[in-house]
């Protein structure tokens, strides 16, 4: 059975909702094992044991979160040259534009030689004040549906042997 690994970090709930939506979409494919792991606990063995990935992060100071960066730092060299060609997707919960967080993940995945199979999804909350930035987030249904579709697409591709 193929495995889809969804690694996420969330502080105010937005990226967590997006990760859960991707998991729910992927779970509709019964021939794929879906693992949803916080970036703080995901390890190199989790990366090596997966056949595809969804990376979900909030945008913090125009970058991926430090916890997500730590995940990549802890797993990068163990996975280097062993996971090339595997598919991935990126979901970002942003306060402004999220583009730099996407770029950072793309650079890491390029080093791993992963294959992007979906356009990155950036959900912009427009949180710009300290109060708004730290407030719990609620992601709207349409954006959660896009995240579900990403999870479903990766799982279906794995089940059908496309990836």
Its pTM stands at 0.97
- Count CB neighbours of 139 within 10 A: 20
Distance of CA 30 to the CA centre of its chain: 20
- Count CB neighbours of 80 within 10 A: 12
Number of domains composing the chain: 1
Over the chain (163 residues), the average pLDDT of each successive run of 10 is: 97 97 96 98 98 97 96 98 97 96 98 97 94 94 98 97 93
CATH number at residue 119: 3.40.50.360
Angstrom distance (rounded) from CA 60 to CA 158: 31
Q: What is the per-residue pLDDT across 81-128, written as a single tens digit (0 to 9) for each? A: 999 999 999 999 999 899 999 999 999 999 999 999 999 999 999 999
Q: Classify strands 32-38 and 2-8 as parallel, antiparallel or unpaired.
A: parallel
Token duo for residue 6: 């969804």
Boundaries of domain holding 9:
2-159
Instruction: Specify the DSSP class assigned to residue 52.
Output: E
The burial class, CB within 10 Å (0-12 / 13-18 / 19+), for 133 is middle
């Amino acid at each position: 059975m193929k495995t889809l690994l969804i690694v996420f970090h969330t502080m105010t709930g937005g990226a967590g909702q997006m990760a859960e939506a991707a998991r729910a979409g992927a779970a509709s494919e019964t021939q794929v094992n879906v693992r949803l792991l916080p970036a703080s606990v995901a390890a190199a063995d989790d990366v090596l044991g997966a056949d595809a990935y969804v990376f979900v992060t909030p945008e913090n100071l125009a970058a991926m979160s430090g916890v997500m960066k730590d995940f990549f730092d802890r797993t990068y060299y163990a996975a280097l040259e062993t996971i090339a060609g595997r598919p991935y997707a990126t979901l970002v919960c942003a306060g402004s534009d999220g583009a730099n967080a996407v770029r950072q993940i793309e650079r890491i995945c390029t080093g791993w030689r992963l294959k992007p199979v979906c356009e990155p999804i950036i959900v912009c909350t427009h949180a710009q004040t300290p109060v708004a930035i730290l407030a719990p987030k609620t992601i709207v249904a349409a954006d959660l549906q896009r995240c579900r579709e990403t999870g479903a697409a990766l799982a279906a591709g794995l089940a059908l042997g496309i990836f």
